[in-house]
Amino acid sequence: MELRNMTAAGLAAKIKAKEVTVAEAAQEVLDCIEEKESLYHCYVTVDKEAVLKKAEEIQQKIDCGELDGLLAGVPVAVKDNLCTEGMRTTCSSKILENFVPTYSAEAVRNLEKAGMLVIGKTNMDEFAMGSTTETSAFGVTRNPWDVERVPGGSSGGSAAAVAAEECFAALGSDTGGSIRQPASFCGVVGMKPTYGTVSRYGLIAYGSSLDQIGPITKDVTDCAALLEVIASHDEKDSTSVRREDTDFTSALTEDVRGMKIGIPRDYFGDGLDAEVKEAVRRAAGVLEEKGAVVEEFDLSLVEYAIPAYYTIAAAEASSNLERFDGIKYGYRTAEYEGLHNMYKKSRSEGFGAEVKRRIMLGSFVLSSGYYDAYYLKALKVKALIKKAFDDAFAKYDILLGPVAPTTAPKLGESLADPIKMYLGDIYTISVNLAGLPAISLPCGKDTKGMPIGLQLIGDCFQEKTLIRAAYTYEKAGKEHGYKDGKTI
């Protein structure tokens, strides 16, 4: 087996056994990037020299026994909305084109503490607003399965980098499906943990009540291991949850006997591609054969999640993005008259169209006269959606459905009609509104050869149940994902 085909956990074992050095692993990834980056454009920034230097440092610490974590020595990519000390962090926006953070996000620190090697920063939709990675100010990322198609978004660079073997694993962030949907489109595994499980300190905020950082990996084992690395309680994030059950790799067992799985009928209605539907149904059948009890039910309120989500996310975005004012960091317009004109011109020239669209909408729904009718109404609907999930989890251990209504669309097909694009988030966004954990994993390909994703949704703090079910499916299913190492 070639080095690049290994999983993150497989590579870590080889490094531990002294069969591979960290420098060799790093060089392999840099070679892959050199070969494939002109095709796919997964990264915004890669710092080769720093990577090779750090590889030596990590090797020394592994050799003297200071580092013996699950994934020590493994090269990992980080979405470009996570601050990395001394390494440019852009959010794929012109407004942060030259921003170099003076500190690292807590999730990135956790990677480093575990001895993982940050390779670079991956491309994304500008400020994580989008489903295709086409709103990046630095050019599109292409899907490694078909370069004419999008990798999904907003963590499209991370998902494509894992699929293309330009890293062994990656971090993404998920506000409305931004980890799960690109993972699905690129044939890899992605997980959005329970809200509060991974510290958001140093994650450049989009919708703070919805944002959560999570792993994008080649398989379920890597997903559990990487989640175990990044999950931690953090005083610097007031919404961080103290959990004692973050030994996620202990859930890597093949056993779903008696597990109650609910399939929301509402997830199989109009708009769902027939091939996606069939693949997801087949996946449910595999889990049933393995002893799970599968049943259909009505979740309700599914169609209301999208308007509620876009109201809340836009409101929070308009507030969070106020900080980009051309004073302390970021882009400043060349010519201006006075302070306010400078703010307005800097922001108008620095932000892209989709970001401006959401800031405008958010400012409107929070403005006096409309606050109750829109923003508060959306928060009430969020409460109803949460209640619908509570009722579902009173009956079922996990829920099963598709990740997205279709496989990856062609480049240039999505942005012209925003509402149509937002409808593509229908199966992922209610998970963020309710703070739930959910995993996306490959469950086949369509006739165009594009990967199809299976989504498993758990109750709050039930990541281990999800991992157990996903691992069982992965072991049983003949269908695999990611492009270069494994085939279906």
How far is the CA of 436 from the CAs of 5, 57, 287, 327, 385, in angstroms?
32, 38, 21, 37, 12
CA atoms within 13 A of residue 30's CA, in its CB half-sphere = 17
- Which residues share a beta bridge with 453? 442
Residue 488 is a binding residue for another protein (CB under 8 A): no
Beta carbon of residue 326, minimum distance to another protein (angstroms, whole number): 6
Q: How many CA atoms lie within 13 Å of 186's alpha carbon, on the beta-carbon side?
A: 40
CA dist 237 and 160 (Å) reads 29
- Decide: is 235 part of the binding site for another protein (CB under 8 A): yes
The least distance separating another protein from the CB of residue 133, rounded to whole angstroms, comes to 21
Please report, for residues 41, 51, 99, 130, the alpha-carbon distance to residue 46 in angstroms, rounded to integers and kept in the order given.
11, 8, 15, 23
Catalytic site residue from 131, 173, 178, 199: 178
Q: Which amino acid is at 217?
A: T
Q: How far is the CB of 107 from another protein (least distance, A)?
A: 18
In this structure, are residues 423 and 306 in contact, taking their beta carbons and an 8 Å threshold? yes
* Residue (254 or 322) nearer to another protein, CB: 322
CB of 217 closer than 8 Å to CB of 223: yes
Q: What is the CA radius of gyration of the chain?
A: 21
Site string for another protein, 84-103 (x = CB under 8 A): --------------xxx-xx
Q: Which is nearer to another protein, 239 or 406 (CB)?
A: 239
User: Is residue 393 a contact residue for another protein (CB under 8 A)?
Assistant: no
> What is the smallest separation between the CB atom of 79 and another protein, expressed in angstroms?
20
- DSSP labels, 79-100: ETTB-BTTB---TT-GGGTT--
Using the rule CB under 8 A, is 323 a contact of another protein? no
Amino acid at the residue 81 = N
Q: Angle at the Cα of 188 (from 310 to 397), degrees rounded to 5?
A: 70
Residue 13 binds another protein (CB under 8 A): no
d(CA 253, CA 286) in angstroms, rounded, equals 16
Count interface residues toward another protein (CB under 8 A).
70
Residues 271, 405 contacting (CB under 8 angstroms): yes
Residues in the chain: 488
Residue 299 is a binding residue for another protein (CB under 8 A): no
Question: What gap in Å lies between CA 421 and CA 154, rounded to an integer?
Answer: 12
Task: State which residue, 376 or 488, has the beta carbon closest to another protein.
Answer: 376
Minimum distance, C-beta of residue 394 to another protein, in the bound complex (Å): 17
3-class SS of residue 175:
coil
The question of whether 18 is a catalytic residue gets the answer no
Pairing of strands 117-122, 75-79: parallel
Q: Give the residue from 429, 441, 428, 431 showing the smallest Cα distance to 467.
A: 441
* Between 21 and 197, CB nearer to another protein: 197
User: Using CB under 8 A, which of 27, 45, 363, 406 touches another protein?
Assistant: 363
Joined together, the tokens standing for residue 141 give: 């990322």
Structure tokens at 91: 């959010």
The answer to whether residue 336 forms part of the interface with another protein (CB under 8 A) is yes
Among 308, 388, 403, 443, binds another protein (CB under 8 A): 308
By the rule CB under 8 A, 206 interacts with another protein: no
Where does this chain touch another protein (CB under 8 A) — which range of 10-18, 270-278, 427-435, 437-445? Answer: 427-435
Nearer to another protein, 339 or 488 (CB): 339
Residue from the set 1, 64, 328, 394 that interacts with another protein by CB under 8 A: 328
Q: Which two structure tokens, joined as six digits, stand for 375?
A: 């923003």
360 binds another protein (CB under 8 A): yes
Report the residue from 307, 406, 446, 475 that binds another protein according to the rule CB under 8 A. Answer: 307
Q: Could you give the CA distance from residue 42 to residue 144 in angstroms, rounded to a whole number?
A: 10
Question: Is 230 among the residues that bind another protein (CB under 8 A)?
Answer: no
**What gap in Å lies between CA 266 and CA 52, rounded to an integer?**
50
Q: Is 252 in the site for another protein (CB under 8 A)?
A: no
Q: Confirm or reject binding of residue 434 to another protein (CB under 8 A).
A: yes
Instruction: Figure out which of the listed residues 75, 153, 172, 330 binds another protein, where binding follows CB under 8 A.
Output: 330
Residue selected from 37, 273, 304, 475 as contacting another protein according to rule CB under 8 A: 304
Residue 319 appears among annotated catalytic residues: no
The answer to whether residue 240 is catalytic is no
For residues 314 and 362, the answer to whether their CB atoms sit within 8 Å is: yes
**Residue 374 binding another protein, by CB under 8 A:** yes
Report the residue number, 182 or 330, with the smaller CB distance to another protein: 330
Measured from the CB atom, is 297 or 364 closer to another protein?
A: 364
Which residues lie near another protein (CB under 8 A)? 98-100, 102-103, 195-196, 209, 235, 238-239, 241, 301, 303-304, 306-308, 310-311, 318, 322, 325-332, 336, 338-345, 347-348, 351, 356-357, 359-367, 374, 376-384, 386, 418-419, 433-435, 460
Please list the active-site residues.
79, 154, 178
